[in-house]
A = this chain, B = another copy of it.
């Protein structure tokens, strides 16, 4: 079998230049059309391959998949088959889509199997049993610590010893395109008693999330050398944050209503396999980590990430350009840490990176940092300025890894701010 990541591979499905979805990507998602119930699909170019239809017509018969595993409103049952099966399915789809393979291209049903993305609605790709948010970018933690504590001791003492994380709200994770209502809540200004009002410091956070494909028993840690067996792939994640609500509520038990009004996940899960060519070394870790957090090999990924703000009726402006490779703690360390106490994982869990900021101001992954808590303004295409988000603004995250003319992209992770009720 040819390596499905080989940059010379071409598909008989047209793939526009700079598409996020060449044959080397093949991310999984859930879609429906006017004519079909929700089902699993794979993106290629501007199309979606209907996996339920492929399975019905016997294209996966050598893989012994459970019948109708793709005929589902989530990818959970498919992911539960495990990393090896996900890999086999991706490789089989790669084979079917190659320019020199006509099994599918010449099949009588090809037109009903290959759907235009224009007529499809993309749904949340997984049911999310658990959601954890890490805090793994040194630059982000340093920026926040400098702003709210002491620039000379910006990182808290535990930060370089463990990947700090916290549990988030699974119920309010929505798919890209879902509008986000500006939250109301308690805000404390100065010495006055707290007031109840709409948040006036609404922010985005540029994050990457990994999604798990296995269920482990309680009490069984996952070691760093095993973690990748449990990770299906990655998606973009916008951890919308109401900074004013968060600041008043978060001591001592962490973020709560400042976060759980909504988080946006991109609809396509890019497999870890598709990202293999983009592995890079992570930052060196000093002090040395405890043995359970040590790892071998390249565990970071060189993925450009961007955030754009589009005021209503105006062109979008890029406000942040960062990279997933900046992460101080990698996903192997995150999952090993999360489970070292015996905490169990489930299929479809979302583990987000925390805001990914880079070293330069233009690479900061949140408005909190970009505006330095409201002190600097960002300029929009219509001449208006932003410190935090306005009603009507649409925030879109993009990300892609690119080499040898091949771009492994993530599609859009987008949400528009609605005024508070």
Contact = CB atoms under 8 A, between A and B. Distances in A.
B161 A186 contact: yes
B158 A249 contact: yes
A52 interface: no
A311 interface: no
Interface stretch (A231-239, A275-283, A339-347): A339-347
Contacts of A129: 129, 170-171
B287 A345 contact: no
A219 B253 contact: no
Contact of A185 (B257, B291, B340): B340
A342 B183 CA distance: 6
Nearest to A128: B129
A220 B183 CA distance: 10
A421 B339 CA distance: 13
A245 interface: yes
Contact of A174 (B218, B221, B257): B218
Interface string A392-421: 000000000000000000000000001001
A135 interface: yes
Nearest to A260: B343
Interface of A: 129-130, 135, 156-158, 161-162, 164-172, 174, 178, 181, 183-186, 188, 193-196, 218-219, 221, 242, 245, 248-257, 260-262, 287, 290-292, 337-338, 340-346, 349, 418, 421
